[in-house]
Amino acid sequence: NAGVMQNPRHLVRRRGQEARLRCSPMKGHSHVYWYRQLPEEGLKFMVYLQKENIIDESGMPKERFSAEFPKEGPSILRIQQVVRGDSAAYFCASSKDPAMNTGELFFGEGSRLTVL
Amino acid sequence: GNSVTQMEGPVTLSEEAFLTINCTYTATGYPSLFWYVQYPGEGLQLLLKATKADDKGSNKGFEATYRKETTSFHLEKGSVQVSDSAVYFCALSNFGNEKLTFGTGTRLTIIP
C-alpha cells in the first residue's frame, strides 16, 4: 500500500513565479491536509480538504495561496507570485476518517520550496 | 484556541542516557495527544498517542502519559540509541477533527 506521495521533492523558483505542489493521499483516504514548516520551526496547519471541498482553510494566507482536491487526481497547493518568505517545506498528510479521531495522519516526505 | 508548548532544543545526549522531552498543552474539551517523530530528510511519523486522561502511549521504548491535572504529555525513554536522533513533535487534536496542532519540535542528537 503506497504511502502519501508528494512531488516535486525539491522545487526552486524565482520571485514572482508560481509554485505547484502535488499530493496523492494514501489509497482509501479522502481527507488531505497541508502543513508548512518554516526553517527551525514546527509545522503550521494551512488547509484541510475533502474530495472537491475545502473544509478548513484557516491557516492559509489570504492572498497568493490556493488549494484544491479534485474528484480525480492529486491535491494541489498553488502559490502564485512567490516571495522569499515562502521558502519552506510543505507537507501533505492524509487520513481515512476524522470522525474516528484516530489522530493519525500519514505524512508525505514533503516538498521543499526554495525561492531565489 | 489550542496550543502546544514543547521543551526548547536542541538536546544532545550520550547513548544509553535517559530522555525526557517536556510537552504541555492548552485545549478546549478533552483532546487526544500525540508524539510524532521526523527523521532527517523524511516526513513525520506517528510515534505514540493517548486519547484520554491517564492513558499511557508507548512505542519503540518511548512512553508518554496523558496528565490532565498538569496538562502535560512528556516523552520519556530509558536508554536512548544513536538511531533515535530526530526531531520530536508533540501535538494534539480535538475529537472528530484530525487537524493537528503541533509544538515547535525538539531536535534530539544522540552521540555514541
User: How would residue B96 be classed by pLDDT, with cut points 50, 70 and 90?
Assistant: low
Rg of chain B over Cα atoms, rounded to whole angstroms, equals 13
pLDDT of residue B24: 97
Strands A43-50 and A106-107: unpaired
Residue from the list B6, B34, B43 with its beta carbon closest to the beta carbon of A107: B43
CB atoms within 10 A of CB B112: 7
Contact A56 B96 (CB under 8 A): no
Contact A103 B93 (CB under 8 A): yes
Closest residue in B to A108 (Cα) is B43
pLDDT of residue A53: 93
Contact B104 A56 (CB under 8 A): no
Chain A residues with CB-CB distance to B32 below 8 A: 101, 103
pLDDT in tens, A1-38: 468 999 999 999 999 999 999 999 999 888 999 999 98
CB atoms within 10 A of CB A8: 13
- Residues belonging to chain B with any Cβ–Cβ distance to chain A shorter than 8 Å: 6, 32, 34, 41-46, 49, 51, 89, 93, 95-105
CA distances to A39, B72, B86 from A87, rounded to whole Å, are 8, 33, 22
Please check whether residue A12 is in contact with residue A18, taking contact to mean a CB–CB distance below 8 angstroms: no
Q: Which amino acid, residue B22?
A: N
CA distances to A34, A40, A50, B36, B37 from B99, rounded to whole Å, are 10, 21, 12, 14, 17
User: How would residue B44 be classed by pLDDT, with cut points 50, 70 and 90?
Assistant: confident
pLDDT in tens, B58-84: 999 999 999 999 999 999 999 999 999
Please check whether residue B103 is in contact with residue B23, taking contact to mean a CB–CB distance below 8 angstroms: yes
Please check whether residue A21 is in contact with residue A36, taking contact to mean a CB–CB distance below 8 angstroms: no
